[in-house]
Amino acid sequence: MTIPLFPQIRDHILKLVRERCHITFKELADEVSGFAGNGLMEFGEFPGLVLWAGISALAAETLQTLLRDKTIYLHPTPPLNYLIEGYISPMPLAKRVRTYKYPRWIPMTVSTDPPRTGRHLRGNKV
């Protein structure tokens, strides 16, 4: 009998997010066992707007659940934060939140802090 990984991934994600306040998807991919995979995590109701490429289905489902439950929130971040960590997206950068015909990357951090202004994104809503 195998033990479901959902609680383990969820608990590790929450631990890191609480410790670092705003954490990038790159940091999560590097430090959470089972986070990396072959999938894309898109930004809610905007097809083509990609939060992270190379995520496992279980990690994406875990993040979606935490976002839906308002346990974590997404916050826009400059691409420079990812560049400092050594990540260069293979996708073009999204210039705004909208549906794209081809995948575009939107750099975000994950936090337990709720949005303070209308510029922050909570869950999957703008």
In whole angstroms, give the CA distance from residue 34 to residue 24.
16
- pLDDT recorded at residue 123: 46
- pLDDT recorded at residue 120: 47
Report yes or no on 33 lying in a domain: yes
The candidate with the shortest Cα–Cα distance to 74, out of 92, 51, 41, is 51
DSSP letter at 24 equals: E
Report yes or no on 59 lying in a domain: yes
Report yes or no on 21 lying in a domain: yes
pTM: 0.85
From the CB of residue 3, how many other CB atoms can be counted at a distance below 10 Å? 7
Question: What would the two tokens of residue 24 be?
Answer: 């990038």
Q: Which residues pair with 118 in a beta bridge?
A: none
In whole angstroms, give the CA distance from residue 58 to residue 60.
5
The number of domains in the chain is 1
63 lies in which domain range? 6-111
Report yes or no on 89 lying in a domain: yes
Q: Give the position of tokens 């659940």.
A: 65
Residues of the chain with pLDDT under 50: 1-4, 120, 122-126
